[in-house]
Amino acid sequence: MKRRYIYFAKKAASVLLVTACFSTLMTGCGQTAEAAEEEESDAIPVEVQMPEAGSLTLKNEFVGTVSPEESVYVVPLVSAEVLSADIKVGDTVTAGQELCKLDPEAAELQLASAKAQYNSAAAGVKAAEVGYEIAQAQYDSTVAQLDVQNEQTQRQKDLTMYQMQMQIDNINEGIGDINEQIADLAEDREDLKDQRDDLKDARNQADQYVQQAQAAYSAAAAAYGYPEAQRNYQAAIAAMNAFEAQPHDSDYDTKKEQLQGQLNDAKDKVDEIEGDLKSHKDTLTAAQSAASQLDSAYEQAKAGIEQIDDGKEQLEETLSDTYTSLGQTETVKNLTEAQLNVNTQPVQEAGKRTAALGIDSAAAQVNSAKVGAAGAKVGIDSAEYQLDMYTLTAPIDGVIEAVNVEAHDFASPGNPAFVISNKDTMTVTFGVSEGIRSTLKVGQKIEVDRNGKTYSAAITEIGSMIDQTTGLFMIKSCVSTPDDSLLTGSTVKVTADTYSRGDALLIPYDAVYYDNSQPYVYVAVGDVAERRDIETDIFDEQTITVISGLTTEDQLITSWSANLRDGAEISIQETESSATGAEE
């Protein structure tokens, strides 16, 4: 808002200069001091206009950088000598088109090695088949040991049954403990509920005391005449301010002394009544404090009940889980007991099946060897795939932006060989501050300017993290109709609508004055200027928005005068636009 003061200073300086020149001319023509004084007493000529309802939108400009929406680096996946590279910068290529060839000698050697490994894996399959025959011979020896193993199995079952019974006993004890805790919480909740109800009654009583104290204070203030004393005091202040704004005359000191006496008497009366009301004020404050404390205690009691309910709910969930665990443990115990009654014959058969696992393992080794052979075959396929890597092709349709290889160069995975860009759609990226970021929206239309040529664009992405280099939020936009002027990496000017204010009054920026940061204007009320304090919002070089303090029916004074002040006599001048309107 400093600009307002600059305009005001320029206007004041101009008026003082014109006044000085005019005074010199009039003195040179023999004008008397009496004539000059008579002229100063005339009404101030002013121009007025009605505030208009509307909206104001500000535009901001930013610096953006152009880049393709899709750009890829074609990087070799292998290191090799370049045999051919006929593609040049600016060439248009299609997806799958060959870009260059690399020397495939290393890949061919790798393919030969993979074939040798496959032959070795095939020999391993035959060896595994021999092992399977040996495992079959060991099966008979293993079956003879089943009797001893069955006895050990029975002992293990007895130990398992004992451990399961111990688990069941412990679970039952836990269920009893949880039930006791739930009962204790229920008692605590009832006690806390009674406390909450008592606090609620006390809080309601305290609210009545506050209302009674408020009524007593208001009645006492009215009885002592406090509102009238305040009005008299404010009137005395206003009278003194109005008197000091008038020109001094011979009775100035006497009148000022009288007004000062009236002001002192009014102030003493206000202080006296406030002293008489102090006890009522203290009573009201004490009642309000007690009500606040009771309200806090009531909320704490409510919170305590909620905590007890949460704890009870958690215990009930734990109890449910414990019952589930008990059921599962009892089920396992029953199944184990049933197994104890199994006759010997099925156990023996199960032992034989266990012994047969050796044969299954040998069979698995055969399968594993076959899998190894299949893996070696995959190695051959991989080597053939590696061989394809020695031909670089274009992954997308586009234009060649850079070529970093030539025939007989050495290509490596760390260096891109080609850069391809799809320029059907171009992206413009620019940075904004946090305040402006909050005014932008995805899909918002913006304007891009490159060397005087403009393009329509739309915001596609609003950054949510500050760029560490610029300290700004990065915004991306899309230009759907680019041409050759939008080169990759070029700088452009971006214009976007940012701050906006609707449902406001629009007035000239130069009509606003400031008093210690308080904006105000002058309006014409009859033939008198009246100061109006206003609340303003956004503005540009010509217009400022007003959100309170004015209406569309007010006659806003738009011209400037050094003598313009609250209560000054004015004369509304007919402007050219108003005269034209009158003729129509």
Instruction: Going from the first residue of the chain to its last (584 residues), give the mean pLDDT of each consecutive group of 10, the final group possibly shorter.
Output: 36 38 40 45 89 90 86 84 82 86 82 86 84 80 69 74 86 90 89 88 89 89 89 90 85 87 90 88 88 89 88 88 88 78 66 77 85 85 81 84 83 84 83 92 92 90 93 91 80 91 92 95 96 94 94 95 94 64 38
pLDDT at 349 (0 to 100): 73
Rounded Cα–Cα distance for residues 264 and 233 (Å): 9
- 548 near 579, Cβ under 8 Å? no
Rounded Cα–Cα distance for residues 465 and 474 (Å): 8
- 413 near 76, Cβ under 8 Å? yes
pLDDT at 576 (0 to 100): 56
Given its phi and psi angles, is residue 220 left (phi above 0), alpha (psi -120 to 50 degrees) or beta? alpha
Rounded Cα–Cα distance for residues 60 and 499 (Å): 9
Pairing between strand 44-46 and 570-572? parallel
Would you tell me how many other CB atoms lie within 10 Å of the CB of residue 31? 13
What's the gap between Cα 336 and its chain centre?
A: 60
- 105 near 386, Cβ under 8 Å? no
Please report which helix (H) or strand (E) contains residue 247, including its range: none
pLDDT at 36 (0 to 100): 44
pLDDT at 509 (0 to 100): 94
pLDDT at 584 (0 to 100): 38
pTM, full prediction: 0.39
Rounded Cα–Cα distance for residues 424 and 420 (Å): 12
pLDDT at 342 (0 to 100): 66
Please report which helix (H) or strand (E) contains residue 136, including its range: helix 105-143
For residue 266, give the nearest of 225, 294, 207 by alpha carbon: 225
**446 pairs with which residues across the strands?**
457
- Alpha-carbon Rg of the chain, whole angstroms? 48
